[in-house]
Amino acid sequence: MSIRERLSGNEAAAIAMKQINPDVVAAFPITPSTEIPQYFSTFVSNGTVDTEFVAVESEHSAMSACIGAESAGGRAMTATSANGLSLMWEMIYIASSLRLPIVMSLVNRAVSGPLNIHCDHSDAMGVRDSGWIQLFSETNQEAYDNLIMAHQIAEHKDVLLPLMVCQDGFITSHSIENIELIEDDKVKEFVGKYKPEHYLLNDKEPIAVGPLDLQAYLFEHKKQQADAMRNAKKVILEVAEKFEKMTGRKYGFFEEYKLEDADIAIVCMNSTAGTAKATCDKLREQGIKAGVLKVRVFRPFPAEEIAKALSKLKAIAVLDKADSLNGAGGALFEDVTSAMFISKVQIPTINYVYGIGGRDTTVQDLEKVYNDLTQIVKTGDIQNPYRYLGVRGEN
């Protein structure tokens, strides 16, 4: 029997961490993720977990401590947002290059400057190619479930990569939703014990961690990272299948919402998917064949699968909650259009950068996107594919 609760996304993340009971949690507070280590620290202080909680002096130190713990053979977790992730930047790359399966809860927030504490995806997009697996979460339930699955994915012998579970700052992190928790003993059995093959404190196998890696070997080591990321696709689905057997909740690389007969669709990530689904339902009542593709797994990017899922549409809008500032669209748009091109799927596709700095995105906003797609289907004319949604002064 699952346990029905009402929790914020941050509370759900902290409870997932409690049930996992990692060896080490190292964290430094930053809005809007502060509550996760704060809640978790109460589990440490009351003896609910036997985790070593390390209250560090910065986010750089937090990731450094996690790297030390994982290198020594322990299971390590942390949480952060935005500028905190930016301060970790050096160590983020080191964690993945050392093949350390650290798990992080990333509560998405705009990266400075100017200073803003509200949600966009500029933090996650800034490290999208750092070698971390990235799972995105529409709801508090999905954030919780993704964290429960995270270690099984990251620690798999064919993967051994760090993993971040993303959720939208304040929108889900601080909003209370109904949620079904898994019993502690079932989580413990599902996650299992961490048994690394190579680690520093193994006196039977002396090793070095992080040595100098020059021309003779670095290329091969980076190729191994890339291969591990490709391997993660298979492992993610295997873990999701096991999770479904335990809970009845099904997860894949993405969710297809009313795509089976859709003419037009929005592609998006995280909580925006809920608004897109509501808009889709409204348009369906009007006889408009609208659909949604919600990306859950952004790294590794399921290129072939997404191209296939979108292949029967007549027009597509990809929504990016971060601007790549490259003059040629956001990161999700670039990946989706690249995937379609490689798979020889030629469908009119436009990009909308939206929600920067936490700006609200409403059903009315997304109705405009669907209306634009309807017009493109009628005329075949895209005009400007690089668009902004909800900017004052823009049509």
Distance of CA 367 to the CA centre of its chain: 26
What is each CA distance from 204 to 75, 151, 200, in whole angstroms? 20, 25, 10
pLDDT (tens digit per residue) in 376-386: 999 999 999 99
Q: How many helices (H) and strands (E) does the chain have?
A: 13, 15
- What was the pLDDT predicted at 393? 83
Distance CA 350, CA 361 (A): 17
Cis upstream peptide for 385 (omega within 30°): no
- What was the pLDDT predicted at 1? 63
Distance CA 298, CA 127 (A): 12
Yes or no: say if 11 and 143 are a contact pair by the CB < 8 Å rule.
Answer: no
Distance CA 20, CA 366 (A): 38
Tokens representing residue 23 in the block: 């060896």
φ and ψ of 287, to 5 deg: 85, 10
Tokens representing residue 368 in the block: 């405009």
Distance CA 390, CA 86 (A): 27
- The strand pair at 297-299 and 163-168 is best described as unpaired
DSSP codes joined into one string, 128-148? TTSS-EEEE-SSHHHHHHHHH
Yes or no: say if 131 and 292 are a contact pair by the CB < 8 Å rule.
Answer: no
What percentage of the chain exceeds 70 in pLDDT? Answer: 99
Domains and CATH numbers, the chain: 3-247 (3.40.50.970), 254-389 (3.40.50.920)
Distance CA 277, CA 292 (A): 7
pTM score of the predicted model: 0.98
Distance CA 251, CA 141 (A): 12
- What was the pLDDT predicted at 65? 98
Yes or no: say if 22 and 100 are a contact pair by the CB < 8 Å rule.
Answer: no
Distance CA 188, CA 178 (A): 23
Yes or no: say if 43 and 18 are a contact pair by the CB < 8 Å rule.
Answer: yes
Residue numbers of the chain with a pLDDT score lower than 50: none
What is each CA distance from 60 to 168, 245, 380, in whole angstroms? 22, 38, 50
φ and ψ of 187, to 5 deg: -65, -45
DSSP codes joined into one string, 275-320? HHHHHHHHHHHTT--EEEEEE-EEES--HHHHHHHHTT-SEEEEEE
- What was the pLDDT predicted at 216? 96
pLDDT (tens digit per residue) in 95-136: 999 999 999 999 999 999 999 999 999 999 999 999 999 999
Q: Give the other-Cβ count within 10 Å of 326's Cβ.
A: 10
Tokens representing residue 297 in the block: 């797994």
φ and ψ of 255, to 5 deg: -115, 130
| DSSP H stretches of helix in 192-271 | 218-247
- The strand pair at 133-136 and 76-80 is best described as unpaired
